[in-house]
Amino acid sequence: MNTIDCIREFQRKYAGTYFFFKKHCESHETLIYCESVESQMDAEGRHVRGGVMRVNSLECGRLLFNIPSEHTFVFKMPPVGVFQYGKVAVHVTRLPRRQWRRGLCSDNTSITPTISGIIACELSWSLDLIDELYRRKTFDSRDALSLLKDKGYLSVALRDQYSVAKGLQDKTFFILHQTVPVALYDTSKDEAVLYQAAYEQEVMKLIKEL
């Protein structure tokens, strides 16, 4: 593969995606976002003499990598499930299209807030978001309601791809599996309305833990 083809391949696979890099002979991995892949021309601007990858990271700030690079670039599969990001739970799934992309992006990964549908929540891809997803953070069920009522959380990620989200009233909460509301729980009456009968056993178990 010549230099031009190599640069085009990097552009196709890495530009606009999130992945990790390792320094030569080191094991530590750093999450980065590839902002662009550019050609480097000779002094006369006639021939491509190499390429450069411009990236950003939380750990090291902005970096430049030569193409080809002596560093190793690592694509890690997204952590599929429901995880906490800030004050909202998000559901992460892999998308079948464009799996040849060598980093996380909206072409191969879906990230959706698990909220009740009555609350607007915009979610932008960022290094902060992707970094949190790889941490796979969830909460104990016993802490969920206090986080929603007292800490301003919109939804709380629990085990087994469940989450709890704020309802229409202060004492009502939606229980969701992935992104689907399966029950509405009213703490003032200690009653639950099931939307999906197949989830009854698990919902009742979660309510006892709340």
Helix (H, G, I), strand (E, B) or coil at 138: coil
* 52 shares its domain with 85: no
> What pLDDT is attached to residue 23?
83
Please state whether 158 falls in left (phi above 0), alpha (psi between -120 and 50) or beta.
beta
Residues 111, 166, single domain; the answer is yes
The per-residue pLDDT string of the chain (210 residues; one tens digit each, 9 = 90 and over) reads 677 888 888 899 999 999 999 987 788 999 999 999 998 877 776 666 778 999 999 999 999 998 877 888 999 988 899 999 999 999 999 988 767 788 999 999 999 999 876 566 778 999 999 999 999 999 999 999 999 999 999 999 999 999 999 998 889 999 999 999 999 999 999 999 999 899 999 999 999 998
Q: How far apart are CA 96 and CA 103, in angstroms?
A: 14
Residues 13, 63 share a domain: yes
Give me the DSSP letters along 75-130. ------EEEEETTEEEEEEE-STTTTSSSB-TTTEEEEE---SSS-------HHHH
Do 68 and 149 have their domain in common? no
- Enumerate residues 6+ apart whose C-beta is below 8 A from 187: 145, 171, 172, 173, 210
Task: Write the DSSP string, 139-173.
Answer: --HHHHHHHHHHS--SEEE-GGGEEEEE-SSTTEE
Same domain, residue pair 89 and 172: yes
Query: If you search the block for the tokens 């206090």, which residue do you land on?
Result: 146
Enclosing domain of residue 168: 81-209
With H, G, I as helix, E, B as strand and everything else as coil, classify residue 183.
strand
The verdict on 33 and 110 lying in the same domain is: no
Q: Which of 74, 104, 127 is the last residue of a domain?
A: 74
**Residues 106, 168: one domain?**
yes
The last residue of one of the domains, among 54, 74, 94, is: 74
Whose CA is closest to 66, among 149, 128, 7? 7
The predicted pLDDT at position 119 comes to: 62
pLDDT computed for residue 78 by the predictor: 83
Per-residue model confidence (pLDDT) at position 46? 67
Q: Within this chain, do residues 111 and 194 fall inside the same structural domain, yes or no?
A: yes
> Among the three residues 24, 50, 74, which one is the final residue of a domain in this structure?
74
Same-domain status, 52 and 23: yes
pLDDT of residue 70: 82
**Total domains, the chain:** 2
Tell me: do 135 and 63 sit in the same domain: no
- 68 and 7 in a single domain? The answer is yes
Residue of 196, 170, 172, 171 lying closest to 183 (CA atoms)? 196
Backbone angles phi, psi at 70, to 5 degrees: -80, -10
The verdict on 124 and 191 lying in the same domain is yes
Look at residue 1 in the predicted model and tell me its pLDDT.
64
pLDDT at 45: 67
Residue 126 burial (C-beta neighbours within 10 Å; 0-12, 13-18, 19+): middle
Tokens in use for 135?
């941490």
